[in-house]
Structure 1
Amino acid sequence: MIADKVEDLMVPLEAFPKISQEATIAEAILALEKAQEEFLADRSKKQRIMLVTDEQARVVGKLSPADVIRGLEQDYGKMLNTDVSRFLREFDKVISSLSVELGHASTPWCKICSKAKNIKLKDFLRKPEASQVVQIGDDLSEALHRFILGGHDSLFVTDGKRLVGMLRFAHVYREILGMIKDACASP
């Protein structure tokens, strides 16, 4: 059977590990590490995307290793909201000036531990953007556009306004590969 709707490849929320937005970065690092180990031990049943929940256990976002680093260095988020194309044109100069401007050139790495113990996920977690959300009944082509144009590795899946699961790019990619193999193998 060829999947053509988001719901065909969506993974329900229950399948994902979760962490409270009240957790610290240090706690999140341990949880991400555990999720990765469980995923590697049994890829068929485990997910390594870490979902973040609020006080009512509602999913409010997802956490990646890159998010953890952004949480430790929150000034990057402020800088990247400005003219990104200017940064890309003069990458080396920008990296040098950012390090100096943000004080990273002289910040000792040993301070990261104290930061990780004190910063909570809710202090830096970004809410999903509209481009990261698809409806359960949407065509996979709609999701594919969002993956490619938005540069996302996963999308939040909703049924109306209720979040019901996640759609991973890897699953859509695997489906596309299967269709291409089948088409090319046919006479």
Structure 2
Amino acid sequence: MKNFTVKKLLLPISEYATVSLGTTLFDAILALEQAQEKFYHGKYQHRAILVLDDEKKVVGRISQHRILKAIEAGEELSKDLSKLKMFNFSDAYIENIRETIRLDTKIFTQQALKKAAGKKVEEFMQKPTPDEYVAESSPLDIAVHKLVSGNHLSLLVKRDEEIIGVLRIADVFVAACHGMKALNIGEK
């Protein structure tokens, strides 16, 4: 695995689920489903959708976690509850109110799912942070450090300033397992 670079494991953007700004959550989910059906690179499916601007540049990402967060009813009220800190309510009190609302709110109702399906991706996408990028020419150990220290499931791979693909933790994990097997670790 000496001199193993990110380029060897990245998935090109062309093989990844992408949507444009302004796309609804429902259409984004369909795009993810379609990409998963087309993708046969190992046994690990895509778990996120990349959001592109009008110039086809990546401006955000929607993970399965973000999708569920968008579906969770009461998200707007939860944001309003955060404002209670201004009035010196304790974190425990605010969290208690949040939990009460969560218990009283049904997420998987037709009304809640319909409302979530119509949300635009920019309302809940995550904008990439500087530690979520890695150069395609970077050694794999740098990528592993970024994945682990940032607790990321994937990194956006750059060539110069252009994002050309995605490095998924699942693919890095498989490469590490294959590397260990190649060394015959455990055999005496």
**Paired position in structure 1 for 2:176:** 176
**Paired position in structure 1 for 2:128:** 128
Identity of aligned residues (%): 28
TM-score by length of 1: 0.76
Distance 1:18 1:46 in 2: 17
Q: 1:3·1:9 contact (CA, 8 Å) conserved in 2?
A: no
For structure 1, the residue ranges without an aligned partner over 5 or more in a row are none
The CA deviation string for residues 17-41 of structure 1, in whole angstroms up to 9 with x for no partner, is 21122111122222223333334xx
Q: Secondary structure at the match of 1:34?
A: helix
Letter of the 1:157 counterpart: V
**Aligned partner (choices 97, 101, 105) of residue 107 of structure 1:** 105
Letter of the 2:110 counterpart: C
Q: 1:70·1:77 contact (CA, 8 Å) conserved in 2?
A: no
- TM superposition shift of 1:128: 0.7
Q: 2:5·2:139 contact (CA, 8 Å) conserved in 1?
A: yes
**Paired position in structure 1 for 2:88:** none
Q: 1:15·1:47 contact (CA, 8 Å) conserved in 2?
A: no
Distance 2:32 2:17 in 1: 9
Q: 1:7·1:137 contact (CA, 8 Å) conserved in 2?
A: yes
Distance 1:52 1:152 in 2: 17
Change (3 A) 1:7 1:66: same
Counterparts of 1:76-91 in structure 2, within 5 Å, are: none
Asked if residue 65 in structure 1 is aligned to residue 64 in structure 2, the reply is yes
**Paired position in structure 1 for 2:163:** 163
Distance 2:147 2:34 in 1: 27
TM-score by length of 2: 0.75
The CA deviation string for residues 34-54 of structure 1, in whole angstroms up to 9 with x for no partner, is 333334xx3459962422111
Change (3 A) 1:54 1:46: farther
Aligned Cα root-mean-square deviation (Å): 3.2
The CA deviation string for residues 27-82 of structure 1, in whole angstroms up to 9 with x for no partner, is 2222223333334xx345996242211122222222222111222344599589x9
- TM superposition shift of 1:2: 5.1
**Paired position in structure 1 for 2:53:** 54
Distance 2:10 2:45 in 1: 12
Distance 1:38 1:112 in 2: 30
Letter of the 1:67 counterpart: R
